């Protein structure tokens, strides 16, 4: 247990709620609840 970096691909951002400061993602996000999640743009080109 500890600080492990995990990369998940093929997740889709469904909605952004700026008022509530929420980002809704379709798919499973690893890690415990209320953990810090970093979201970046894709590096691979879409085919």
- Over the stretch 2-13, which tens digit does the pLDDT of each residue have? 678 888 888 899
**What are the pLDDT digits (tens) for 17-43?**
999 999 999 999 988 888 888 888 877
Written as one string, the DSSP assignment of 1-47 is ---------S-EEEEEETTTTEEEEES---S-TT--------SSPP-
pTM over 0.85: no
Please report the pLDDT score of residue 17 as a whole number. Answer: 96
- Which residue, 9, 13, 47, 45, is CA-closest to 30? 9
| Residue 46: pLDDT over 70 | no
pLDDT at residue 1 in the model: 61
Q: Which of 26, 30, 40 is nearest to 6 (CA)?
A: 30
Taking 90 as the threshold, does the pLDDT of residue 14 lie above it? Answer: yes
How do 12-17 and 22-26 pair as beta strands?
Answer: antiparallel
């Amino acid at each position: 247990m500890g600080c492990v970096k995990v990369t998940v691909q093929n997740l889709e951002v469904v909605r952004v709620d700026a008022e509530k400061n929420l980002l809704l993602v379709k798919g499973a996000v690893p890690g415990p609840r209320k953990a810090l999640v970093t979201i970046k743009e894709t590096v691979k080109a879409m085919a």
